[in-house]
Amino acid sequence: MTDHNTYPFDIARIRADFPILDQEAHPGKRLVFLDSAASSQKPRQVIDAMAAYYTRDHANVHRGIHVLSERATDAYEGAREKIRAFVNARSHREIVFTRNTTESVNLVAGSWGRANLGPGDVVVLSAMEHHSNIVPWQILAAERGFTIRYIPVTGTGELDLDAYAGFLRDDPVKLVSVLHVSNVLGTVNPVTEMIRDAHAAGALFMIDGAQSVPHLAVDVQALDVDFLAFSSHKMAGPTGLGVLYGKRAILEAMPPYMGGGEMIRRVTLEGSQWNDLPHKFEAGTPAIAEAVGLGAAVDYLGALGMDNVLAHERIIVEYAMDRLAEVPGLTIYGPDTDRRNGVTTFTLKDIHAHDVAQLLDAEGVAIRAGHHCAMPLHQHLGVPATARASFYVYNTKADVDALVEAIYNARKLFRF
């Protein structure tokens, strides 16, 4: 079987959609892009949709009574509708545009959290969170006096669900906020069961979907999740745009996060009335072209089929895990292949991860090295930094082979 037909879709056609991949990183070295967990590349369809918007349709939204403003508003709200359908929200009013996952979490902390959390309350996070789902809660806890509990990570890189059950049983938990897929370990957390248990204990549940929404079908109604945060730039869309899904009744009850234009219905010198959802949470001129771009990205992923996207990544991750396991002196972090997705994270003997990444870059292989915005998790792993190869729809087994070959070359240089 050729590499070409190993995948659930025509990989050559997919790769041709991503013009950035067709270049040399250094003379004679094909670019092998394995850093999509940090930010994915963009297909021509997304780039073209944004260019077409700026070329023909741009004006400010929701304000002007002229043809361009109407077209821009249609494009912006049309994109919101595509994203609603993509995560299966009930209403477009439940889809709030933010700048990124980080801002979506800050919005929930700064609005819902500030209004609902105080001394005696508990928020449950996990020890494998990205900083963006730790720091906003720590800032708010210092202000509001509630307690944060962290679900520990087990030796296999999974959440300690017994500890979680203990928190829900013993503590007045008001909110659980946990990532769906770990950006370091690739662990796919059992959010369906965790949400069910949180609700049974009377707590709300927020998913950090930064590493799941781009890679697998996430259905907010099937999950019955209260909040879902994700970023456009990790799912083939542009930077500068994020999404917060929230159940309508919860969003309705929340105070605004930022004040300004767009989010008000009426302003007097004495006070203001808020606009309807989702505009109540979208102060100021939004990222219109970026929303158009994300709409095109969602069309692109939808046409591939999220089940195919997942199946493709499983093939690549499985292959990467097998090939990396061959390399002497290499340690892989995280659970077995069937409970992980998207990333493989490793260390190479005692070589610093930054040095590994630099040597790989010289071979044209782009990976990420560091703590990946998860310092507490790295403390748990007992290493200051790891190297991470992460995959998306355009990656192939040949990319994994290039990674492994470059690692072997790095080993030679360090003479082990």
* Cβ closest to ligand PLP, residue 123 vs residue 404: 123
* Cβ closest to ligand PLP, residue 173 vs residue 188: 188
Q: Residue 200: is it exposed, middle or buried by C-beta count within 10 angstroms (0-12/13-18/19+)? A: exposed
* Cβ closest to ligand PLP, residue 100 vs residue 395: 100
Q: Please, how many CA atoms are within 13 Å of residue 23, restricted to the half-sphere of its CB? A: 8
Minimum Å gap between C-beta 134 and ligand PLP is: 10
* Cβ closest to ligand PLP, residue 211 vs residue 344: 211
371: amino acid identity, one letter: H
Minimum Å gap between C-beta 131 and ligand PLP is: 8
Closest CA to 260 of 252, 269, 243, 272: 272
* Cβ closest to ligand PLP, residue 238 vs residue 278: 238
What are the start-end ranges of the E strands in 232-338?
Answer: 242-246, 264-267, 272-274, 330-333
Is the bond leading into 278 cis (omega within 30 degrees of zero)? yes
Is 223 considered catalytic here? no
Closest CA to 21 of 3, 38, 35, 1: 35
Minimum Å gap between C-beta 101 and ligand PLP is: 4
Residues of this chain that interact with ligand PLP (CB under 6 A) are 100-102, 130, 132, 179, 183, 208, 210-211, 231, 373
Minimum Å gap between C-beta 205 and ligand PLP is: 16
- In the block, tokens 């509708």 appear at 81
* Cβ closest to ligand PLP, residue 134 vs residue 410: 134
How far from each other are the two terminal CA atoms of the chain, in whole angstroms?
Answer: 35
With the C-alpha atoms ordered 127, 129, 135, 140, is the resulting torsion angle positive or negative?
A: negative
Compute the distance between CA of residue 78 and CA of residue 290 in angstroms, rounded to an integer. 12
User: Residue 230 belongs to what H/E stretch?
Assistant: strand 227-231
What pairing do the DSSP bridges indicate for beta strands 343-348 and 386-390?
antiparallel
Q: Residue 59: is it exposed, middle or buried by C-beta count within 10 angstroms (0-12/13-18/19+)? A: middle
Largest Cα separation within the chain, whole Å, is 73
Residue 40 backbone phi and psi in degrees, to 5 = -80, 165
User: Residue 64 belongs to what H/E stretch?
Assistant: none
Catalytic: which of 264, 310, 373, 383?
A: 373
* Cβ closest to ligand PLP, residue 87 vs residue 404: 87
With the C-alpha atoms ordered 346, 351, 355, 361, is the resulting torsion angle positive or negative?
A: negative
Compute the distance between CA of residue 199 and CA of residue 194 in angstroms, rounded to an integer. 9
Give catalytic residues, as residue numbers: 373
